[in-house]
Amino acid sequence: MIAREIGHFLVGVMFLTRLPVPSELHHVEGRLARAARYFPLVGILVGLITGGVFFLTMQVLAPYIAAAVAVTVGMLVTGALHEDGLADTADGLGGGQTREHALEIMRDSRLGTYGACALFASIGFRILALGVLDPVEGFLALVIAHTVSRALIPTVLVSGAYARTRGLASSVAEGVGTVEISFAIITAFVVSMIGGYVAGLASCAAAVVCGGIMLAILMRRLGGYTGDGLGAVQQVGEIAVLVVLSGLWL
């Protein structure tokens, strides 16, 4: 059983990052739903890497440069998966006159003006929020932000509807249940508390509110979420947590 759960976790690592995993896990679509419970744990891993980079670079670089390096490393570790989803979603919602037009735009891999602006805002907000924190605060903030924001993904999979007829996100959502949601939420809540009770509650509340608003926009405009939409939800959640923590710890 332990080996099976480790396998589920590694599937989550494979799906959400570019970190190497055993080759036998490369064709595991059926296991991705079970792996959703471990998305926040993958967030911890990404947060430890980026937080460690921020802590170390703060010893030799100016705060905002260190923040830029940490955010860049995070995009390299994840293959900019969520940033790509945010950009495609912004292009679709910004340029699509109808639901069908928006979904068509989101399928296009080319970056448009709305997507470019969304990426600029996302990267900018994260760098500015991190830049006002000291090395330890920044480390904790990155761990919390990456963890809590990834707990939003399985939550959206269950609470929302899939906008397209069929896709990877819909197949995953069909297998996500109470166990996955409960484990993800508990993991995110416990990890958020490492910054203190107030910071933990504020982080979770900010992520839920901003993620919920993003989901509501997707439901209204598209009739549901897409894989790109999940990336957008994660991004706004991550930004919200970093901004809130920067305000509390400033």
pLDDT confidence of residue 131: 97
Confidence of residue 195 (pLDDT cuts 50, 70, 90): very high
Of 7-16, 139-148, 182-191, 201-210, the poorest mean pLDDT is in 7-16
The predicted model scores a pTM of: 0.94
Residue 27 has pLDDT above 90, yes or no: no
pLDDT confidence of residue 37: 93
pLDDT digits (tens, 9 = 90+) for 39-67: 999 999 999 999 999 999 999 999 999 99
pLDDT averaged over the chain? 92
* Percentage, residues of the chain above pLDDT 90: 78
Q: Which residues of 206-225 are buried (b: 16+ CB within 10 A; e: fewer)?
A: bbbebbbebbebbbebbebb
> Which residues on adjacent β-strands are paired with residue 162?
225
